[in-house]
Structure 1
Amino acid sequence: MLKVHILNHLDNKQMGQKKLAQIVGVSESTISRFLNDRDELKFETVLKLIKELFPDKEKEYMAEYAPTQKSMNARFCMEYCMIYRLWDITEGLVQNLYDSSNPTDREWAKIYDLELMRVKGELNKDELLHALKKYFPNTVEVQILHTFITAYIYYEMNKQNLTFELLDGLEQQINSIKSLFMRDCLNIRLGMLMNVVYLYQNEVDKAREYSMKVIEQDVIPHVKAIAYDNLGQSYLFEDYEKAKEHLDRAKLMYLQTGKEEYARTSERTLSFIESYWRIDREFTLELSEDPITQANYAYYLLQRGDLDGAKKLLNELKEDIFSEWDKPFYYYYKGLVEQDKLFFYHSVKGFKSVENAFHLQLPLQELEKLGEEKVLLEIFSYKGG
């Protein structure tokens, strides 16, 4: 089907095969053999061709092309399909490569099979970690993907330090890969993890550096939006205007790519930052049953001077309805309305439990205002304990 699209395009644009060959950087004979079903093009050449000729139909045409591929092209197609969340096509490619006589194909099939099970929730985290620990791939790309999947699981378990230990130094191994496409994809994976891990380690400059590495890559818009989202969060304590600029950009890109839930997450983050900076505005988030949004509203009321309204709302919210990640924020809000050190201590404990050294600064700032001993604040902020 892809070849039909190309031939129709050549006819419509009155473009010869020589010009097409020049566009994608191969010989005219290579293009001719491809269009006449005598040879296959490398995956990266096909991707470049589609991007050049059909920029508005890239995902559609790649979805047609991918299932027809074998061996190395099929391996790269799996990574492409994972990026674009074409799960069904990835599953078909996994099965095709499992059936291959080439052991390298089967290695790639195994790792993408495990990643599919992770993203689709077909195995729980402990089961996935057990499966990964029993799997010892030989191929460098698969070894790196093995590391990434393990890192994703640790990150989802709020084990930021273990995630960092896995990824630290991985960039050099990634840059040894010959395929530019795979190298770029793996570096984007690395950037997307390292920007948040560094942020939660309170290594803000490094977090921003990795966010910018993703933004500067040729990536799909919603991935770039996540990087802008993380970049905006990093300015919480420093610069409201920069935080807002990046979060607004993230929200717009999410909406343009149909990621409404992601856009709402950006809105929640910006609302929190606006309350932190005491920005005078209306509260625009929808007050659903989501407890963190309701707690966010209580924070808004508090910063508007409505102490009674904030206290009443927070008293209606019980700590056990919050996730382990959100619970420290709830305690932080409770500490603000009650001006009680005990709630800030619980907030500190919670942020340390999920290894979030960045937002840990919130209760530490308040404890300092309440006259807490400096040496205790230094102990509380220590990453190792």
Structure 2
Amino acid sequence: MSLKAKLKEICSQDKGLALKICVNAGLANATPLYKFYKNPDKEMESFKVLLSIVRAVFESKEVSMMDSYISTLDPKKRTARYCLEYTNMNNMTETKMSLIHKMLKCTNVESKEWAKLYYINHLSTYTALNEDDKLQVLTTLKEVTGEEYEVNEIFEGNSILPATIEFLLDEVHPKSDEMKVFKGIEKMYCYYDVKNISAIEGFKKSVNVTLLKVTDEFMRDVLYCKLSLISMGIALHTNDITKIRKNYENIDRFQFDLDKAKYNLMLGNSYMFESYDKSYELLCKALKYAYDSECEFRITDTKRSINFLQNYYNKTSLYIDSNSSAISDIHEYAFSLIRKNNPEGLRILENMDLEKLTDHNKGFHFFLKGLATNNIEHFWTSIKSFNKTNEKYYKTITLIELKKLGIENHILDVMAV
């Protein structure tokens, strides 16, 4: 039974319930709900109100009811656009991709721009692609940009090239305020992924200004949360820990498990050098939310943080992947071996191609080499590498080691800035 038919059936049996859930959702009466389910083509004026009603009536069946409703939507209309974000945050990949393809083919310009940007966002979540996946991506990119691309222009091995997302974002020029903000946040993440913290600030100011123009409550809240999360990430790397923890006051604004996973990940990371127990508790909470959202890349990110925490405190690392080719996984495997005084850890580091490491990667790389060799020159190189990305938080680990080697406090204070 469809969402509208089910709502009609339930509300017909209990008209008092219809009024109650509508009032709780912020409506003055139940008339908008009646109009919604009686007219097959009628949209609810407020998507946030619609979600509130569906959650109140169907509770644990919310996502499945919304899934069936999304399949009936007109891709040219507003609700379809908002459902791109809903499917995104609930990790409804098949439904999202179906909606994206419908919107790319429709005649509404605004729906097309939303579909293009959400598809580019989707590409950033890919971790391992087979040959069929790559061909599908190239086919869809032709719809998105109107251009044909070669495999080596988009992919590196089984992954999307780091510069590809930024390049594709520059090919889309949105007109709506929502997508101007969305694109700006995605661009910020391009710089965040390589830990170019300084470059993010220029985008942040313009994004904040445009966000004030967004009138829809659902999208305004969603975009606010996205901006808050990346702002917290910036605060972590610039060592503004107070700002991260102050954001805990706004935790209720995070509607989706995926956002809660990311928030608890950053909060857990902020306690990493203060308290193993507090950090581990929060990272485990983040991992639970990541599993609840069934988001593989968030699960992987959280496990990597847990590995680093446990390696740092010389505990058994739970999620080490010795077969991974990802730089952070190789570093964590080497870190675990170095903690055991196993010379294989240093050999792994020596065999890594420095040309493939970002400056941020090099900060950790030379920190680990310093640990393995007790060579102060490696620690100096770690500091220089972290400084190139304005990384102040994780630079702490190198400063601590330099202090152990007898470097005077006044020198360390200068390097910490």
Q: Which TM bucket (shorter chain)?
A: 0.7 to 0.9
Q: CA shift at 1:37, angstroms?
A: 1.8
Q: CA shift at 1:260, angstroms?
A: 6.9
CA contact (8 A) 1:235 1:243 kept: yes
Indicate the residue corresponding to 2:280 in structure 1: 244
Indicate which of 321, 328, 347 corresponds to 2:363. 328
Indicate the residue corresponding to 2:240 in structure 1: 203
Residues 65 and 158 of structure 1: CA distance in aligned 2, closer, same or farther (over 3 Å): same
Indicate which of 35, 41, 44 corresponds to 2:44. 41
> Structure 2 CA distance, aligned partners of 1:294 and 1:131?
33
Q: CA shift at 1:239, angstroms?
A: 3.0
Q: Which runs of 5+ in 1 are unaligned?
A: 302-308
Indicate the residue corresponding to 1:339 in structure 2: 374
Indicate the residue corresponding to 1:112 in structure 2: 118
> Residue 144 in 1 paired to residue 181 in 2?
yes
Listed as ranges, the matches of 1:223-242 within 5 Å are 223-242=259-278
CA contact (8 A) 1:285 1:293 kept: no
Amino acid at match of 1:197: I
Listed as ranges, the matches of 1:347-358 within 5 Å are 347-358=382-393
Indicate which of 45, 54, 69 corresponds to 1:65. 69
Report the 3-state secondary structure (helix = DSSP H, G, I; strand = E; otherwise coil) of the residue aligned with 1:68: coil
> Residue 76 in 1 paired to residue 82 in 2?
yes
> Residue 315 in 1 paired to residue 347 in 2?
yes
Q: Which has the higher contact order (CA 8 A, sep 6+)?
A: 2
Residues 125 and 57 of structure 1: CA distance in aligned 2, closer, same or farther (over 3 Å): same
Q: CA shift at 1:247, angstroms?
A: 1.8
> Structure 2 CA distance, aligned partners of 1:200 and 1:249?
21
Q: CA shift at 1:53, angstroms?
A: 0.8
Amino acid at match of 2:368: Y
Residues 222 and 76 of structure 1: CA distance in aligned 2, closer, same or farther (over 3 Å): closer
Listed as ranges, the matches of 1:289-304 within 5 Å are 289-290=323-324, 291-301=330-340
Residues 332 and 310 of structure 1: CA distance in aligned 2, closer, same or farther (over 3 Å): farther
Task: Name the count of aligned residue pairs.
Answer: 372
Amino acid at match of 1:179: D
Indicate which of 285, 289, 295 corresponds to 1:253. 289
Q: Percent identity?
A: 22
Amino acid at match of 2:68: E
Indicate the residue corresponding to 1:305 in structure 2: none
> Structure 2 CA distance, aligned partners of 1:114 and 1:265?
20
Report the 3-state secondary structure (helix = DSSP H, G, I; strand = E; otherwise coil) of the residue aligned with 1:216: helix
> Structure 2 CA distance, aligned partners of 1:53 and 1:3?
12
Q: CA shift at 1:354, angstroms?
A: 4.5
The one-character-per-residue Cα deviations of 1:281-307 (angstroms, maximum 9, x if unpaired) are 555445633423322313543xxxxxx
Report the 3-state secondary structure (helix = DSSP H, G, I; strand = E; otherwise coil) of the residue aligned with 2:399: helix
Q: CA shift at 1:214, angstroms?
A: 5.9
> Structure 1 CA distance, aligned partners of 2:61 and 2:339?
43
Report the 3-state secondary structure (helix = DSSP H, G, I; strand = E; otherwise coil) of the residue aligned with 1:158: coil
Amino acid at match of 1:217: R
Q: Which runs of 5+ in 2 are unaligned?
A: 127-133, 138-153, 155-160, 325-329
